Structure 1
Amino acid sequence: MKATIWHNPNCSKSRAALAMLEARGDIAVEVIRYLEQPPSAETLAALYDRAGMHPREGLRLSGTDAAKRGRPDADAATILAAMAADPRLIERPLVETDKGVRLARPTEVLEEIL
């Protein structure tokens, strides 16, 4: 099985998700440091669609100025464009496998796609 994780090594939840994936031993893990390689708005839209989430649910409010800038009330296209322009607005970690996509908060939700 292959898993792709949009990872921030400074985030404890992201590190925990990566450790969980690597500990299994049967998963080829691709790590994308999304702060260095931001996904496009289109990529994010596809990920959230596969996860069954509205982009608003993937908007990071903690430690950002997203709420002050009115992002939580914006439409999906505006939120996705803001995330693509400023990847710090992406809640992490997102994990994708052939079985789906999950925002791994908590990490236990990864079991649904492994």
Structure 2
Amino acid sequence: MTIVIHHNPKCGTSRKVLEAVRAAGHDPVVVEYLKTGWTRPQLQALFAVAGIAPSEALRTKGGRAAELGIDGPDADPEAVLDAMVAEPVLVERPIVASPKGVRLCRPAERLQEIL
């Protein structure tokens, strides 16, 4: 069973989730998305399987989303995706994909739904 974690090593929640995946006996594929970036199709697929809208995976902490005008409930999903592709840090983390589904694991306990 392959598990992929879209990970930011500077994030405490992301580190906690990665540790939990490994503690459960898995050797995950770790994608440091701040280095690799995102593609629009990749984000669309992850969000579709997770059952979330782009705005639900938007990192609003730090204020960049507000600066771009994409943090409100009426934000255009296409604009949110464009911003996420241009600035990968705008995607909340970690996102974990397993054969049982995809979850934005914030809070970290959401990981248990797909292990």
TM-score, structure 2 length as denominator?
0.93
Output the CA distance in 2 between the equivalents of 1:60 and 1:108.
18
**Counterpart in the other structure of 2:23:** 23
Mean CA deviation greater in 59-68 or 14-23: 59-68
Question: What is the alpha-carbon root mean square deviation over aligned residues?
Answer: 1.0
SS of structure 2 residue aligned to 1:101: strand
Amino acid at match of 1:35: L
**Counterpart in the other structure of 1:107:** 108
Deviation at residue 17 of structure 1 after TM alignment: 0.4
Deviation at residue 42 of structure 1 after TM alignment: 1.1
How many residues were matched structurally? 113
- Equivalent residue runs for 1:9-88 within 5 Å: 9-25=9-25, 27-72=26-71, 73-88=74-89
Cα–Cα, structure 1 residues 64 and 8, in superposed 2: closer, same or farther, change >3 Å?
farther
State the Cα deviation string for residues 8-41 of structure 1 (Å, max 9, x = none): 000000000000001111x230000000001201
State the Cα deviation string for residues 88-108 of structure 1 (Å, max 9, x = none): 101000000111110111111
Moved over 4 A (4+): none
Output the CA distance in 2 between the equivalents of 1:33 and 1:64.
22
Give percent identity, aligned residues only.
Answer: 46
Q: Residue 2 in 1 paired to residue 2 in 2?
A: yes
Output the CA distance in 1 between the equivalents of 2:16 and 2:51.
23
Structure 2: runs of 5+ lacking an equivalent:
none
Is the 8 Å Cα contact of residues 60 and 88 (structure 1) preserved in structure 2?
yes
